[in-house]
Amino acid sequence: MVLKTFGWSFAVTALGLVAAVLFGGWTAFGIVAILSVLEISLSFDNAVVNAGILKKMNAFWQKIFLTVGILIAVFGMRLVFPVVIVAISASMGPIEAVDLALTDKDRYEQLVTDAHPAIAAFGGMFLLMIFLDFIFEDRDIKWLAWLERPLAKLGKIDMLSVCVALVVLLITAMTFATHAHLHAGSADKAETVLLSGIGGLITYMVVGGLSGYFEDKLEEEEEREHEEEEEAARTGKPRSAVALAGKAAFFMFLYLEVLDASFSFDGVIGAFAITNDIVLMALGLGIGAMYVRSLTVYLVRQGTLDDYVYLEHGAHYAIGALAVILLVTIQYQISELITGSIGVILIAWSFWSSVRRNRALAAAEGKAEASDRTEVSSGV
């Protein structure tokens, strides 16, 4: 099971490390290895959240997520994305941006750093909306009940998540985004943060809204299909095929890709603290992205989220923490070690809480069975 799920990740790791040695020797090997570990540690919560969505998709779309999706994640976000940032922020063509990345790495790094406020605002707002929609929803299973219960009651207010997100964005623009200029020809930082943050909010609402709409439609069609199956069994008539699942799965796949992109922002920016070589960056972050993808599928196939029910809660709290950290980094530098550690601690805490819950339930069931046996043996 492990080899089947992680086989491609192991293969990509071997090829990537060999390519690093051929490209820059053993120093490059070490840099790529460090970047791989960085990406995995920063994106573990991404895998847990992705698994919660991916388990609703069939085997075909899970394969698409591992093939087409990984191409988008590795080449799109880890290689093309930094180049696009430079091309847009510096008003240059993509070929010029690639040439700059390969020939003037310091200038390239500076341009990406200058674009960080816009990236952080967009990704921070997208992730913040995911967190807010989660904690404002009334769920049967609650991890931190003392906090989640009152928040679920507040969540009955329409559009509360959007209102809270906009207030956070406004405060961010008025505090962290001071009126300093980024670089020649750029807009005021506060204006840049506001526009980018609104862009992240709109992206979440459009992609998430479409995904939710088609997911609801899929559930309706599944109910109708079940009724048709029962009717066909009674009458012997053939039933018509339902094609809506493809649309629903496609928009859920699109939502997953945007979600992955938002998670990758901090990894791409943080990678510049280790190297400004775009080739080594793509190799290291690409290897890490492969493991995140494989881990997502592993969690789905093992049913881990069903067995450890608080894992999804811990991942969403990690998302909320990452959203806040991204917004704070508009003004202040925060170590990637802190960013990754917070996510790992929250998920480990939720995992341990799930283990304790499972043990308590097992103990309660054992006592109930023992009580039943005692009653039977006594003739009651």
More confident residue, 32 or 260: 32
More confident residue, 245 or 69: 69
More confident residue, 197 or 100: 197
- What's the pTM value of the predicted model, to 2 decimals? 0.72
End-to-end CA distance of the chain: 48
Q: How confident is the model at residue 164 (pLDDT cuts 50, 70, 90)?
A: very high
Q: HSE-up of 338 (CA within 13 Å, CB side)? A: 10
Buried/exposed code over 241-260 (b: 16+ C-beta within 10 A; e: otherwise): eeeebeebbbbbbebbbbbb
Alpha helical stretches, state H, 236-335: 244-271, 278-302, 304-307, 311-328
The span from the CA of 165 to the CA of 242, in Å, is 38
Q: How confident is the model at residue 170 (pLDDT cuts 50, 70, 90)?
A: very high
Chain segment 223-281, per-residue pLDDT in tens: 776 676 677 667 765 544 444 456 667 777 777 777 777 666 666 666 665 676 778 88
Chain segment 258-271, per-residue pLDDT in tens: 777 766 666 666 66
* pLDDT above 70 for 377: no
Looking at residue 240, its pLDDT comes to: 47
